[in-house]
Amino acid sequence: MKIRSGNASRHNCRLATRQWNGPDDRYAKQFDDIAPYTDDTPRPTPNRCTGSQYRLASPGSPSQCGDDIEAHTGDLQRSLTQRAEQEKGEGAPLDISPSHLSVPPQPGIPNGGFTAWLQVACGFCMFFNSWGLINAFGVWQDYYSTTLIPSRSNSNISWIGSIEAFLLCCCTIFAGPLFDRGYARQLVWAGSFMVVFGLMMVSLCDEYWQLMLAQGLCMGIGAGGLFITSVAIIPSYFTTKRSFAIGIAASGSSLGGILYPIIFHRLQPQIGFGWATRVCAFIALATLTVPCLGIRTRTLPAPRKKLVDFSGFRELPFTLFCIAAFVGFIGLYVPFFYIEIFAGEKAGLTSNLAFYMLPVLSAGSIVGRILPAFAADIMGPLNILSVCTIVAGVLGFCWMAVHHALGGLVIWALLYGAFSGAFVSLQPSTVVSITDDMSIVGGRLGMNTFCAALGILVGNPIAGVIVDSSWIGLQSFCGGTLLVAAVLVLLTRWSRVGCQLNSKG
């Protein structure tokens, strides 16, 4: 029951009619606590009509028991009005309902502070060990095709990385609703265990099916739990710096794509495949300790709902954006899987120089995940994503022209890494920007990432078939899919804000 304070002389306070049956009634006690009797307030007397000790009549209703009840009601109204003015000021509402007295208000979104930036650090470490390991798969692909299982084709080997990336994205469709229900810490612990355990098992593998189970299945599922938590936890701590914070966290995948290949490439000739992979597992264990201990959920768990909710696909902007993610990810990771092979076969680089093309690609991606995210907070994620996707598609076709010069290949790798990195890092920010209800953002992120997973699943094996016959066909495949994705991103923006050029989307 709410009482609005106003001018005490005019008694702008309304009381709903309520009947109490005795002096021990809990509502009577509540009124005693809020508006205690003073020397000028008459004590209640038994109601002559009903035998009740308390009866309050709403203004304008006929009195059934005499003027003494009317007088007592007026005194109680004045007492409550004075209390309201003292506690909340003139004209402010005083809520005396039980829920108001017992439930504190939720704090606002901090947009900074130690805990908020700690979540960004946790997200960085989770990206480092989820997408970072997938970005680094090219170094394992090269080792598998030349040394460990040379009898397998590039297309067959690429299925290992594709399954890993697919499961990372696919698992988010289930992990997202679990995050919304408050299981963030459990997702981080389970994901960390599976990634570290999977890497340890990879170090023992010498058959194709073993690699598929350890690196494709186990690590993929674990990385999915880490990824959805890393992108869903940050929006609850930031609004004005949301895209920038997510971009910083997403840059962890680029750093992982730099460090893991260099570590494996340098250690493998000296200590062997098994121990080189175990060193990577120990690094993953150390860095994943940060989110295991530091993750903090800020929002209350959402009410129980469907584990998988496809209602988001009834909204045209969200549907178009998910299709854009599917098409874009078909060709996006083709250079990450094949740049090292291309540098050796077509550019004529030595094996040591060819290897460094993958870290160069990932180094460019660091810039592409932070700077566009910073600009997205100012200009809107859909606007920045549209431009970056168009440029990445054009660069996919430009790949054809850089196969004879080392300098040109390095510059191309840096540029493609930067603009393709924006396509990855701005996905969560864009989903959040087109989602009005933050209590379902985990599920929406999961559905979007699932669509991206389907693209990765089919894209790299198709690329493996194409590259066996034509590198130009592979490069056209990469650029064409990204340009189609750019058109779909523009359609998403149009369905959201129309043709308003000055809108943030």
Query: Where does the pLDDT of residue 241 fall: very low under 50, low under 70, confident under 90, or very high at 90 and above?
Result: confident
What pLDDT, on a 0 to 100 scale, did the predictor assign at position 54?
41
Question: What are the distances in angstroms from CA 282 to CA 68, 192, 215, 373?
Answer: 81, 12, 16, 31
Identify whether 335 is part of a domain.
yes
Identify whether 109 is part of a domain.
no
Write down which residue in 102, 137, 164 finishes a domain: 102
Looking at the structure, tell me whether residues 289 and 169 fall in a common domain: yes
List, in order, residues 6 or more apart from 313 with CB less than 8 Å away: 319, 322, 447
d(CA 201, CA 189): 18
DSSP run (H or E) holding 2: strand 2-4
Average pLDDT for 293-317 = 71
More confident residue, 123 or 443: 123
Q: Tell me the CB-side half-sphere exposure of residue 74, using CA atoms within 13 A.
A: 10
Whether 97 shows a pLDDT value over 50: the answer reads no
Query: Where does the pLDDT of residue 86 fall: very low under 50, low under 70, confident under 90, or very high at 90 and above?
Result: low
What pLDDT, on a 0 to 100 scale, did the predictor assign at position 78?
60
Average pLDDT for 433-452 = 77
- In terms of C-beta density within 10 A (0-12 exposed, 13-18 middle, 19 or more buried), how is residue 101 classed? exposed
Whether 15 shows a pLDDT value over 60: the answer reads no
DSSP character at residue 245 = H
Quote the radius of gyration of the chain (alpha carbons, Å).
31
Looking at the structure, tell me whether residues 348 and 221 fall in a common domain: yes
Q: Tell me the CB-side half-sphere exposure of residue 87, using CA atoms within 13 A.
A: 15
Looking at the structure, tell me whether residues 435 and 326 fall in a common domain: yes
Looking at the structure, tell me whether residues 98 and 155 fall in a common domain: no
DSSP letters spanning 75-107: HHHHHHHHHHHHHH-TT-EEE-SHHHHHSPPPP
DSSP character at residue 148 = I
Which among 440, 406, 405 is positioned nearest to 180, based on CA atoms?
A: 440
What pLDDT, on a 0 to 100 scale, did the predictor assign at position 152?
86
Write down which residue in 44, 75, 102 finishes a domain: 102
More confident residue, 496 or 204: 204
Mean pLDDT, the chain, rounded, equals 77
Write down which residue in 102, 129, 152 finishes a domain: 102
pLDDT tens, 181-203?
Answer: 778 889 999 999 999 999 999 99
pTM (two decimals): 0.66
Number of domains in the chain: 2
Whether 384 shows a pLDDT value over 70: the answer reads yes
Would you say 76 and 56 are in contact if contact means Cβ atoms under 8 Å apart?
yes
pLDDT tens, 113-132?
Answer: 888 899 999 999 999 999 89
The structure tokens 């300790």 sit at: 289
Most trustworthy range by pLDDT among 27-31, 154-158, 368-372 = 368-372
Domain extent, residue 53, equals 2-102
Average pLDDT for 251-260 = 88
What pLDDT, on a 0 to 100 scale, did the predictor assign at position 189?
94
